[in-house]
Amino acid sequence: INAEYMGKQVKKVMFDCRNDSDALYHQYGVILRGVQDVQILELMLRTQNFAYQRPFYRDKVFKLAGFGDCVMRFGSLADRAFTQLKKDVHARMGHVSSMWDERPLSAELLEYAAGDVMCLLPIHYSLIRKCGNVPDLEGFSEVYVDYYRTVPERSSFDQHPYISKSCFRLKMRPYRCQLCLRSVSSEEISPSKICWPCKENARQKCRRIARDIVASVLQNAPDV
């Protein structure tokens, strides 16, 4: 199995392989190769090969689409119905953290675990048809494979839906983001030594906090 994971002959269709690649390498010594990442494929289609019309931070950051969003946009009717099951299971996971430790697994959890894989290939084929002449998808996916794998220590700041446009260009990465701890190039780092994706994530968090404060003040304001 290790040879298939580490070889390029067998193509691995995945969705956001970054955490899986990190876990395979640091827990089992497996260097994942030959990946075609569907999240990158969706980004290629949406941005027309990264020439996005409305980027964050002056063309520095893209917002990534989640799996559920891709299912709703490119999946079949059956696939879309599966997203409701995912929402239900996620809601339960917030209250019962040990539900995956139970054996045997319930039929609902088995369907949940298999559903991602069942939806993935049809979405991959749909995106390939829409993209037409796909550029170096495996080359871009290699950048994704290394995204967290080369980080010396994982940070709680690295879980956000933003990615630097310039990270897909092969270049030297002599700088380290002070939040997510990734090695980045000069194009990916801000003057404050924080990478542009982390900076955008922080900005969006501040905006959400400000909206919540305003909503709370308006809700509790006395009627005039």
- Spell out the SS3 assignment of the chain: CHHHHHCCCCCEEECCCHHHHHHHHHHHCCCCCCEEEHHHHHHHHHHCCCCCCCCECCCCEEECCCHHHHHHHHCCHHHHHHHHHHHHHHHHHCCCCCHHHCCCCCHHHHHHHHHHHHHHHHHHHHHHHHHCCCCCHHHHHHHHHCCCCCCCCCCHHHCCCEEEHHHHCCCCCCEECCCCCCEECCCCECCCCCEHHHHHHHHHHHHHHHHHHHHHHHHHCCCC
Listed range (162-166, 173-177, 220-224) with the worst mean pLDDT: 220-224
Mean pLDDT for 116-124 is: 87
* pLDDT tens sequence across 79-114: 777 777 778 887 887 777 788 888 898 888 888 888
What is the pTM for the complete model shown?
0.82
Residue with more model confidence, 42 or 48: 42
